[in-house]
Amino acid sequence: MSLDVDQVRRRFARAARHYDATAVLQHEVQAALLERVREVVTTATRVLDVGAGTGSGSAALRKHFAKAEVIALDLALPMLRQARRQLGWWRPFRRVCGDARALPIQDQSLDLIYSNLCLQWCDDLQPVFAEFRRVLKPGGWLLFTSFGPDTLTELRQSWAAVDAHPHVNQFQDLHDVGDALMAQGFRDPMLDVERLTLTYTDALTLMRELKAIGASNADQRRCRGLTGRHQLQAVLARYEAFRDPEQRLPASYEVIFAQAQAPASTQPRRSAEGEIASVSVASLRSGLQQLRDKKK
């Protein structure tokens, strides 16, 4: 899978104004993730919300960690402009436009990274988790959610019956996410899956909802032309096979919940060739000085 990052940015930028009114599932998952944060993280002085969107999660984090600096980071600037509505003069948070793969944050400066349904828009988690490790203090917490491969399986199967182009994004499974965390040396990763289902009167409403929140197809291999009327009708007809006895059409979501702690800076990373040790410049200088002292 290869995602068009510019397309992701543009679509979420266009969706910013009406996102909160439509993103029902995203808000439900956010509430569950925030509850896990409250159970696991007792104190934090500096918190980063990656993929903050319109800032509702950042506002909740700022309220919970009353004395913490909370930074809301998002790829789409219009989302952060909408986040101004969440700001309060008594508990403000900072807004930063940036990419999870290149965080504008100093090394080992964060106690917590929180991210709700953002990382599925990163086709390679290794550079993302490498950045998370870089900016977290040793022992700092990472808690996030992401979509798994069974998400929107009904819509994916319906399109697959009509043509061979990708129309629904591919998502990494729980084991791939866990392996990526372990490869970057994160401690004690815990991952689990929850399955949620939304229902619709018709599949076209689902497609319009996905477009409204910016979550439509961003695969580099997607068909760039307009979908023909006959092709769309064929997809809608195929989706009807999933209608339940109560005459509702389901849209399935597989949500991965994950948490882990950042390792010490000396904890090695793993690669295909084996472990890669991490040694700080300060440690190298100290070692060289000790060698010089022994020679004297």
Cα separation of 35 and 204, whole Å?
33
DSSP of 206-226 = HHHHHHHTT-S--BTTS--SP
Rounded-to-integer distance, Cα 140 and Cα 112, Å: 6
Asked if residues 214 and 12 have their Cβ atoms less than 8 Å apart, the reply is yes
CATH number of residue 266's parent domain:
3.40.50.150
DSSP 33-83: HHHHHHHH----SEEEEET-TTSHHHHHHHHHSTTSEEEEEES-HHHHHHG
Q: Is 291 helix (H, G, I), strand (E, B) or coil?
A: helix
Task: Give the neighbor-by-neighbor strand order of the sheet with 110-115.
Answer: 94-97, 69-74, 46-50, 110-115, 136-147, 249-261, 187-200
Tokens of 166: 């990708």
Question: 23 is in which domain, residue-wise?
Answer: 5-295
Residue 166 has pLDDT above 70, yes or no: yes
Structural domain count, the chain = 1
Could you tell me what percent of the chain has a pLDDT over 90?
76
The answer to whether the beta carbons of residues 108 and 216 sit under 8 Å apart is: no
Mean pLDDT value across residues 172-176: 95
Rounded distance between C-alpha atoms, residue 254 and residue 271, angstroms? 28
Q: What is the pLDDT of residues 231-248, one digit of tens each?
A: 999 999 999 999 999 999
Determine the Cα–Cα distance for residues 211 and 194; give it in Å rounded to an integer: 24
Question: Tens digits of per-residue pLDDT, 59-107?
Answer: 999 999 999 999 999 999 999 999 988 876 566 899 999 999 999 999 9
Confidence of residue 294 (pLDDT cuts 50, 70, 90): low
Give the number of other CB atoms < 10 A from CB of residue 223.
Answer: 14
How does residue 289 score in pLDDT terms, banded at 50, 70 and 90?
low
The one-letter amino acid at 64: H
Percentage of the residues of the chain whose pLDDT score is greater than 70: 86
